[in-house]
């Protein structure tokens, strides 16, 4: 399921993060990942850790985290791209042909410490789909979930390990995380979606 853009009929209720805020949040998250490296481990973090970005914006956020970690440590963590469309529990209920994006994980996930990166977590259903997709590829040592915004309102018992900001939302509200690579700007907005349009998906 592709991420929702900022439809012109959305009514902006709050500007939650500026570009500077998002940058500072990613700096802090990169540091939190580095703190998870075991200093006494025999193997180097690139051999034991990996970042997996969820399509679409999670991929770009994961790539930014990869660059920040490399700038601070000199270590380049492996980076994977994951599309969970076919693992969603509602894929067969949708009438439209699903748009499948690239999944490319160029490393063995078995026994790795995986950091799964998404822009927004809401009901937990997209996170559940991502877990299924990763487990189909092997048996990771751990999977930790990182997200810029946690909207809460879980429908499944999915928790977040590293979160940029918790934003409780009301029915009809959605969160838009925008990144330069896709949207030509960085930032996070809380919007009131028109009642005629159903909520975009779990991620928003």
What gap in Å lies between CA 176 and CA 190, rounded to an integer? 6
Is the pLDDT at 103 greater than 80? The verdict is: yes
Under the banding of pLDDT at 50, 70 and 90, the label for residue 2 is: very low
Q: In the chain, at which residue ranges do the beta strands (DSSP E only) sit?
A: 11-17, 49-54, 79-82, 113-121, 142-150, 162-166, 173-178, 187-192
Of 13, 1, 26, 9, nearest to 149 by C-alpha is 26
Is the pLDDT at 29 greater than 60? The verdict is: yes
Q: Helices 57-73 and 19-34, interaxial angle, to 10°? A: 60
The pair of structure tokens assigned to 98 is 């699903």
The pLDDT assigned to 1 comes to 44
Q: CA-based angle 192:101:91, to the nearest 5?
A: 65
Is the pLDDT at 3 greater than 50? The verdict is: no
- Are the C-beta atoms of 102 and 85 separated by less than 8 Å? no
Omega before 46 within 30 of 0, i.e. cis: no
The pLDDT assigned to 5 comes to 56
Is the pLDDT at 94 greater than 70? The verdict is: no
Q: Cβ contacts of residue 49 below 8 Å, gap of 6+?
A: 33, 36, 37, 77, 78, 112, 113, 114, 115
Backbone phi, psi, residue 189, to 5°: -130, 145
Q: Which CATH architecture has domain 20-34+47-85+102-169?
A: 3-Layer(aba) Sandwich (3.40)
Torsion of CA 11, 17, 18, 21, to 10 degrees: 180
Question: Using the 8-state DSSP alphabet, how is residue 196 labeled?
Answer: T
Model confidence, pTM: 0.91
Under the banding of pLDDT at 50, 70 and 90, the label for residue 98 is: confident
Query: In the chain, where are the structural domains located?
Result: 20-34+47-85+102-169
């Amino acid at each position: 399921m592709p991420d929702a853009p900022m439809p012109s009929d959305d009514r902006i209720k709050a500007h939650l993060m500026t570009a500077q805020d998002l940058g500072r949040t990613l700096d802090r998250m990169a540091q939190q990942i580095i703190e998870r490296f075991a200093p006494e481990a025999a193997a180097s973090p690139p051999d034991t850790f990996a970042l997996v970005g969820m399509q679409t914006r999670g991929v770009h956020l994961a790539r930014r985290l990869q660059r920040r970690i490399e700038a601070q440590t000199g270590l380049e963590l492996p980076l994977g791209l994951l599309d969970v469309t076919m693992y969603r529990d509602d894929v067969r209920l949708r009438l439209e042909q699903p748009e499948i994006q690239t999944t490319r994980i160029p490393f063995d996930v078995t026994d790795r410490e995986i950091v799964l990166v998404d822009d927004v977590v809401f009901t937990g259903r997209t996170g559940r789909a991502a877990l299924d997709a990763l487990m189909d590829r092997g048996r990771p040592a751990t999977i930790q979930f990182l997200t810029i915004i946690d909207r809460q309102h879980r429908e499944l018992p999915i928790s977040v390990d590293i979160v940029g900001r918790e934003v409780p939302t009301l029915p009809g509200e959605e969160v838009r995380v925008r990144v330069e690579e896709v949207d030509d700007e960085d930032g996070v907005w809380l919007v009131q979606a028109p009642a005629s349009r159903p909520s975009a998906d779990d991620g928003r």
